[in-house]
Amino acid sequence: MQHIEQYFKSLTESRTPHNLYEPIEYILNQGGKRIRPQLVQLGTTVFGGDLSAAINPAAAFEMLHNFTLIHDDIMDNASMRRGQETVFKKWNTNIAILSGDALANMAMLELLKTPVSHDVLIELIELLGQTSLEICEGQQLDLDFETNTHVTINQYIGMIRKKTAVLLAGCLKAGALISDASPANLENIYQYGINLGITFQLKDDLFDVYANEQMFGKQLGGDIRSNKKTYLYLLALEKANDNQKEELIRWFSSSDQDDTLKFNAVKTIFDQLNILQHTEAVIEQYISKATECVNNLTVEADKKELLIHFANELAKRNK
């Protein structure tokens, strides 16, 4: 991780125009959890690959992730990210769009530097491209759900699989690819990542309502203010009585409401229905699915333990 941090600090040096590259430097050097680079390195370690070859795909997938954050914040009209102003708030929307586009292309150029065979490089490029496309599909589904009154929990899980999970799965598979993992192992590590990613998003859904705001780095209730049909909302609709359901639908039918009043009213219904506890139980189910994928891998027991430990730590994270 230290090498990536140093690399990101030097990535935009001497590049012009400054209004294009300063926002890229800004978001890359905010830090964050660096889960995606960790997963590339984890995938490499599990299959006995060369960690020095993992640096380029680790940087590329983290750059792709930050590109999605720049654009997501515009679409969500989010003012804070990692405790700091979002790119479009600090500069403006046009600059943020261009900087995000540039960062996505820089990610592909970074991936091309990976010291692997031509065949593996083609697979890596295809993986990054397919991952990028599915993220866009997931983001569009998320936007569509805002005006769709009949979203199901299964549809929501399908959406977060694309919007969030494929990136985590892609990082693990990238590490496995540069380590010459077998086709069966490639599939199992990818599915492990999918279950990990769904877990990750369900945790984020919880944090939007139940996190410590200072630790979370974002204002609570952003999903509620935006009428996003998160897992919590859909589960609440499923469990609510007629009065609770009517109230939820009323709050989520308009954005022209007092934000604090809306958040507190919706959270009260969530609390009445034990949505926090129910969601945590579902998270455990996805961790179990991830563990099953790990058990199907043909690697040493200590390598499997690394993956299981990572999954459990992700499920327990508090920000």
Domain containing residue 168: CATH number: 1.10.600.10
227: nearest Cα among 76, 104, 3: 76
Dmax (CA) of the chain = 62
Mean pLDDT within 71-77: 91
Domain limits for position 291: 2-316
Mean pLDDT of 176-181: 98
Mean pLDDT over all residues of the chain? 93
Residues forming a β-bridge with 84: 81
Instruction: Name the more confident of 7 and 293.
Output: 293
Q: How far apart are CA 24 and CA 315, in angstroms?
A: 30
Coil vs helix vs strand at 98 = helix
- Residue 318 is predicted with a pLDDT of 76
State the sign of the Cα–Cα–Cα–Cα dihedral 34, 166, 91, 218: negative
* Pairing assessment for the beta strands 80-81 and 84-85 based on DSSP bridges: antiparallel
Q: Which of 4-13, 68-77, 221-230 has the highest mean pLDDT?
A: 68-77
- Alpha carbon 280 to chain centroid distance? 18
Average pLDDT over residues 86-113: 97
Could you tell me which residues are beta bridge partners of residue 85? 80
Q: Is 247 exposed, middle or buried (0-12, 13-18, 19+ CB in 10 A)?
A: middle
User: How many domains, the chain?
Assistant: 1
Q: What is the pLDDT of residue 217?
A: 61
Which pLDDT does position 12 carry in this prediction?
Answer: 83
Confidence of residue 231 (pLDDT cuts 50, 70, 90): very high
Of the candidate ranges 71-80, 167-176, 203-212, 217-226, the one whose mean pLDDT is the lowest: 217-226
pLDDT for res 45: 97
CA angle 152-157-162, nearest 5°?
Answer: 130
Q: What is the pLDDT of residues 266-306, one digit of tens each?
A: 999 999 999 999 999 999 999 999 999 999 999 999 999 99
Please give the sequence-ordered ranges of beta strands (E in DSSP) within the chain, or none if there are none. 80-81, 84-85
Q: What is the mean pLDDT of residues 129-150?
A: 93
